[in-house]
Every structure is written in C-alpha cells, then in structure tokens.
C-alpha cells in the first residue's frame, strides 16, 4: 500500500517537474512562431503583438535557466512576466473579437491590431494563439515543482 503510494507520488513529482519543460517548449515555439510570422511570412507585427513578444521572448531564457538549475523559485521570476503577457493577450483578444471598441486600440505602426492575418481551421488566429500560449505557460508555472 505504502509502496504504491510512493510510486504514485514519484509519478506525480515527475509530472510536476515536467511542467517546466512544457512551459519552456510553449515559450520557445511562441518565439520561433512569432518570428516566422514576421520575418518569413512578412506579416507586420502590430503594437500589441510587440508588447506580447516582449513578455514571451525572455521566458525562454528564464524558464530554461530555471530548468537547468532546478530552481523552484524560477516560477516567481517567470510568472510576473507571463501574467503581463496574459493580460495583454486577453486585451488583444477582446479588441480583436470586438468586445472592446477598436477606437480604444493603442495601435499605430501602420498595422491594425484587429487585422486578420491568419485564420486556421476557421478560428485559430494569431491573438488566440498568443492567449493560449500565455495561459498554458502560466498554468504550467503555477503547478511546477522541482524534485529535491
């Protein structure tokens, strides 16, 4: 009985530790993906996209360093940045889907934050990808626990 419990705990501990990898991979893919959109596909990033990039690019390095050092405090370094990105992504989506009026959009730089660049499967847009990425990273970081 005690034995299986320990094995179960062991499995959970592995799972909680693996969450850091999930968060890191999502941050890495967001970084590479956003660069692909702008540098290869030539989509000009809107102002809000830039702010979200500022939040996500450092996460690759911060979470990466946390993984290598097995540092439980990593989440406290990474979460504030991630939550800023999440807030921006929520706002961007509200704007994009017309919940908030476009006249309030802080967009200049020649491209509107509500312009549709991609629409995969009819609903996957760039702002939605960003929101999903920040949400996944935030959840992973919240539940992340390194083994001693």
Partner 1 sequence: MSKEIKILALIVLVVAIVAVLGANYYRKAMESAPVIVNKNNNSGKKSSISPETLVRPDSATLGVPDAPVTLVEFLDPECEACAAFSPVVKKILKDYDPKVRLVVRYMPLHPNSLRAATLTEAAGEQGKYWEMQELLFKRHAEWGERHGAPPTAQPQNIDTLFEKYAMELGLDVEKVNDAIRENRYQAKLERDRRDGQTLGVRKTPSFFVNGRMLMRFGEYDLRALIEDELKK
Binding residues for partner 1, rule: CB under 8 A, are 21, 24-25, 28-29, 32, 35-36, 39-42, 44, 64, 67-68, 70
Nearer to partner 1, 1 or 68 (CB): 68
Supply the minimum distance, in Å, between the C-beta of residue 60 and partner 1: 9
- The helix/strand count (H/E) of the chain reads as 4, 0
Supply the minimum distance, in Å, between the C-beta of residue 3 and partner 1: 27
Three-state DSSP class for 10? helix
Q: Which of 57, 126, 140 is nearest to 89 (CA)?
A: 126
Supply the minimum distance, in Å, between the C-beta of residue 45 and partner 1: 12
Supply the minimum distance, in Å, between the C-beta of residue 24 and partner 1: 7
Nearer to partner 1, 35 or 104 (CB): 35
Nearer to partner 1, 57 or 100 (CB): 57
> What does the CA dihedral 49, 45, 119, 61 come to, rounded to 10 degrees?
-50
Residues 6+ apart with CB under 8 A from 71: 65, 146
């Amino acid at each position: 009985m005690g034995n299986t419990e320990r094995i179960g705990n062991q499995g959970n501990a592995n799972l909680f530790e693996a969450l850091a990898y999930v968060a890191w991979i999502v941050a890495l893919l967001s970084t590479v993906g956003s660069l692909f959109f702008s540098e290869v596909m030539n989509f000009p990033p809107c102002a809000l996209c830039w702010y979200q990039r500022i939040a996500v690019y450092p996460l690759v390095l911060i979470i990466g360093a946390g993984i290598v050092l097995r540092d439980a405090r990593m989440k406290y370094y990474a979460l504030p940045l991630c939550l800023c990105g999440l807030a921006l992504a929520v706002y961007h989506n509200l704007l994009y889907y017309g919940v908030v009026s476009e006249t309030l959009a802080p967009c200049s730089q020649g491209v509107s934050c509500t312009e549709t660049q991609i629409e995969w499967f009819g609903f996957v847009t760039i702002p939605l990808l960003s929101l999903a990425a920040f949400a996944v990273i935030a959840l992973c970081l919240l539940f992340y626990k390194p083994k001693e």
